[in-house]
Amino acid sequence: MRGFWKLTLMETKLFLREPMAAFFTLAFPLILLFLFGSIYGNEPTPFFGGYGYVDVSVPAYTAMIIATSGFLSLSITMASYREHGILRRLKATPLRPQAILGAQVIVIFVMTALGMALLVIAGKVVYDLRFDGNPWSVLAAFVLSCLSFFALGFVLAGLLPTARTAQIVAMAIFYPMIFLSGAGLPREILPEGIKGFSQVLPLTHVVTLLRGLWMGEPWGDHVLEVGILSAILIIGILISAKTFRWE
């Protein structure tokens, strides 16, 4: 266990030293929150069902963080480690393969949770963020969403040969998904055609689930989202187990 926690600590330091990963996970969502919060404020409006702009943006930006860490950071990091022979050397250590991959997952999960915590604190302190849900329900949805996107990240890392290829492909999928899913812009302002198309995007279901539970909606209203994210998690694990390569 000592080796596992040492590896986890090392991965944490490496994550924080990587400017792009740390910026887009911890800083960029806060920048968006303050930027649009300063423009629109957080006054309740019928347009958002009695909630303010910041109220609906915090769970949406949380979904953005999940996609950033799980889809971008994890896939690029694992592809880079394999390309540079780091995975091969780690596999030769006494640590079990599950521990090596588990350390990476723990670090990404903790950083994702930290990014969400910073959003919530900033929203509450600066904009009197409103929360009507059950904290445990939101936490459960957050964990499910993270694991689903981590599975997608491992699939991408296993299918793509190099870090550069993983970065290009991941970004080509990530940025349209951010703007079409409601993670970057509220879904209320999107055209109806875009809303229909966005149902095929995994991140749309993360946004819908987190936002709904944040506002106090019951789990029964989100059976579809839970089913889709659970299916992504299971299928992603099965595919990544077949495609993941250590060298």
For the segment 78-128, what is each residue's pLDDT rounded down to a tens digit?
887 777 777 677 666 666 666 667 778 888 899 999 999 999 999 999 999
Q: What is the pLDDT of residue 4?
A: 65
Structure tokens at 135: 């904290």
Residues contacting residue 8 through CB under 8 Å, at least 6 positions apart? 103, 106, 107
**Contact predicate 186/104, CB 8 Å:** no
DSSP, collapsed to helix, strand or coil, labels residue 150 as: helix
Q: What is the pLDDT of residue 82?
A: 77
CA atoms 172, 62, 28, 78: torsion sign: negative
Share of the chain above pLDDT 90, in %: 43
What number is the average pLDDT over the span 49-67? 93
* Pairwise CA distance, residues 106 & 47, whole Å: 38
* Pairwise CA distance, residues 70 & 149, whole Å: 5
* Pairwise CA distance, residues 180 & 191, whole Å: 10
Tokens 């998904």 map to which residue? 177
**Contact predicate 229/145, CB 8 Å:** yes
pLDDT band per the 50, 70, 90 thresholds, residue 62: very high
**Contact predicate 63/210, CB 8 Å:** yes
| Listed range (22-31, 156-165, 217-226) with the worst mean pLDDT | 156-165
What number is the average pLDDT over the span 166-178? 86
